[in-house]
Structure 1
Amino acid sequence: MLDLSLFRYPRFVGVQLLAAAPAYAFVVLLILLPVRFVGIEGMSEIGAGRMMVALSAPLLVLPIAAGLLTRWFSPATICGTGLIISAAGLFWLSHLAAGSAPFVLIGPLLTIGVGISLPWGLMDGLAVSVVPKERAGMATGIFSTTRVAGEGVALAIVSAVLSALIQSKLGEHAAMAAQQLVTGNLAAAASNVPAIGHDALIQSYGDAFSTLLWLLTGITVLTAAVVFSFLGRSSASAVAEDAEQPGEEEDTMRASNA
């Protein structure tokens, strides 16, 4: 159903990585942070919602601004810079312990939201502009599949990694408690491991969450480098790639006929 030959285009590969980047640099936080704020730190639901506005609000404006910036900067520069900004926000957030004052968290949350908003506004256009026009429909299908599947896979993997990190802090016999902490059920976790104090559970969760954010920071920086490299190819190289592909397909057809 999917034309995998499109992955011969380096710029197309870069766009697929760009489609997956928001999944682990932004979307997973939409699930994990409210759980942390309400279930672990005891924040009210309204208070947690207000905190999430800092993360999401930039998406209302900056994608449009990213489109305007293409007049002066290449899409590769804008997208790569946005991911680096998002990685900086993740790294900043990783240094804030669980239970930090809400106003302290606004800075890193805004930074993550600002960073991810820049490539967000360009991804859809890039998905069809990096392949020949006659293959734009297939490119859109692959892009949408990568984007949606990436979010589900990223959430599953990140949740499993967070659970494993918490368990490594609590000990090998606290697997159930680790899973309950991931879902924000602090009371159930405390009843499962009564020997471990309430404060120790929160500390273990905070340390594991920080480690997870370090991992996400590294992945986001690596993605930014690859995206900048692949999407930053010169226009001349891009034209040459587009011209070579039909020739390769004709050679394949000739070989099949022979």
Structure 2
Amino acid sequence: MSSPDSNKAWLLAAVCLAALGMPLSFTGPAVVLPAIRDTLGGTPVQLNWVTNAFMLSFGATLMAAGALADAYGRKRVFLLGLAVVALSSALLTLAPGIVAFELARAVQGLGSAAAFAAGTAALAQVFDGPARLRAFSLIGTSFGVGLSCGSILSGWLADTVGWHAVMLSPGAVSLVALCLAAPRMRESRNPQAMGLDVPGTLSFTAALSLLTLGVLQAPDSGWGSPWVLAALAGALAMGAAFIAIERRVAHPMLDLSLFRFPRFVGVQLLAAAPAYGFVVLLVLLPIRFIGLEGRSALEAGGFMFALSGPILVVPTLAAWLAHRFSAGVISAVGLLVCAAGLVWLARCAPGTPLHGLVGPLLLIGAGIGLPWGLMDGLAVSVVPRERAGMASGIFNTVRVAGEGIALALVGAGLTALVALQLKASSSPSSVAVSQAAQRVATGDMAQALALLPGMDRAALLHAYGAAFGTLLCVLAGVTVLTAVVVFVFLRGDEPARGHAEALGQNA
């Protein structure tokens, strides 16, 4: 019979594996998107949903999954989530078309949300004090490993086996986690849990869905389209309804009173910062490297490792620095370093070799790595202990939902910037330019050239490079602004040092 300490270790290993599999679900499809398009077809809007369907369902249901785990059993929800991820991964390889593929991606997001929420809630019950912080830092490290190695693993699998193997990899990891947890994990629930906040969940999911739908449809239909305006107005109305509901219910999914803590607000801003300074590049750069520049999936994975690799080591530096500086200082410096890398990358034209890209990619990854090493611990240390569970759920929801919204907005922005460049350098109709810009933004060089008969590949790449550079400079500006605001909210000392002690013991 295994000891309680042994069961804790196996549970931690299972949750860390689940955390490792989540970025594989996110980064893998970006690397093989051209192959998915060639096999299943799809319009540019539909191809954007390949990533956003997962992010939307994950972010919209994370807090609800936590409530279900508390009410009906954390082990039950954790194992069910892992099983759903494994099943949906298999369904992705059998999808007859792009719409079925995207529905399976949404189901995969639901499973990932259930596994993550229930797994972290279970860990919070068996670990306490510094041990809890060390456990959660290991989860962050596992997520970082998935981000760092996911692109190069996906590139290798795509080149040696095919894109179907990339889709199966998160399911394989989830199955291993399920086998580890099923015989050793104890069931636990919160006797005071009130179950699912159905009105809050529905209004929150509707708000995110309508916002994402409107932003993704805008490049195709135009921002003034009645459908786009209706979707954005609906998102605003559902968001207002969600806030009104959470203020009135006795046991809200989102306790709005937490936003009275300035540090809590600062942590939410910090959670959103990697979305537009780092995460969007995990999707945009593989499309650029493979779909537009014609590099192999494995070569693109090597480029992406230069971007995400620092996540493996820089958080340890952040833990060391946290003994000496406040979380606000460390996070602000990291974001400024990231912004500098974005500006540097903006100067790298399409076709730049690895030695010309490795510097800015490493700088972006290293800059994000500094706040990355503190965020998860800060999420639970900036509020009273009895509210730590909800604070962690809100933090992760903001992080994931922010990534989905950032992807939609940045994708729409890139399409608009490419269209402006094409209008300045060619004379086709505005409809052809708009359609070509959408094709370029999703990596479909052949279709874009077919829509622009008077333009050659070099000119199209130049227009894309100019638009991409402008986008990166805008993202750099937003990152600098975030650095300033985060510094103001998180300039105290205590949370950073407390988290540093836990990370230091874990290192």
Q: With the length of structure 1 as denominator, give the TM-score of the two structures.
A: 0.88
How far, CA to CA, are the matches of 1:190 and 1:39 in structure 2? 13
CA apart distance, 1:107: 0.2
Answering whether residue 474 of structure 2 is matched by residue 209 of structure 1, we say no
Residue 197 of structure 1 corresponds to which residue in structure 2?
456
**Runs (4+) off by over 3 Å:** none
What CA deviation, in whole Å up to 9, does each residue of 1:51-95 have, x standing for no partner? 111111111111122112211111111111110100100010011
Answering whether residue 371 of structure 2 is matched by residue 119 of structure 1, we say yes
Residue 92 of structure 1 corresponds to which residue in structure 2?
344
| 2:272–2:399 CA contact under 8 A, matched in 1 | yes
CA apart distance, 1:109: 0.1
Matches within 5 A, 1:1-258: 1-171=253-423, 172-173=430-431, 174-233=433-492
How far, CA to CA, are the matches of 2:296 and 2:447 in structure 1? 19
- List alignment gaps of at least 5 residues for structure 2: 1-252, 424-429, 495-507
How far, CA to CA, are the matches of 2:476 and 2:292 in structure 1? 23
How far, CA to CA, are the matches of 1:34 and 1:133 in structure 2? 41
Q: Which structure exhibits the higher relative contact order, with contacts defined as CA atoms closer than 8 Å and separated by 6 or more residues?
A: 1
How far, CA to CA, are the matches of 1:45 and 1:233 in structure 2? 44
Query: For residue 471 of structure 2, what is the amino acid of its counterpart?
Result: L
What CA deviation, in whole Å up to 9, does each residue of 1:222-242 have, x standing for no partner? 00000001101476xxxxxxx
Q: Percent identity?
A: 60
Instruction: Give SS of 2:349's match.
Output: coil
How far, CA to CA, are the matches of 1:119 and 1:25 in structure 2? 12
How far, CA to CA, are the matches of 1:183 and 1:65 in structure 2? 36
Query: For residue 221 of structure 1, what is the amino acid of its counterpart?
Result: V
Count of residues in correspondence between the two structures: 235
How far, CA to CA, are the matches of 2:407 and 2:338 in structure 1? 18
Q: With the length of structure 2 as denominator, give the TM-score of the two structures.
A: 0.45
- List alignment gaps of at least 5 residues for structure 1: 236-258
How far, CA to CA, are the matches of 2:461 and 2:395 in structure 1? 39
What CA deviation, in whole Å up to 9, does each residue of 1:136-167 have, x standing for no partner? 12211110110110111111111010001111
How far, CA to CA, are the matches of 1:233 and 1:48 in structure 2? 41
Q: Which moved more, 1:60-69 or 1:186-195?
A: 60-69
Q: Which moved more, 1:65-74 or 1:144-153?
A: 65-74
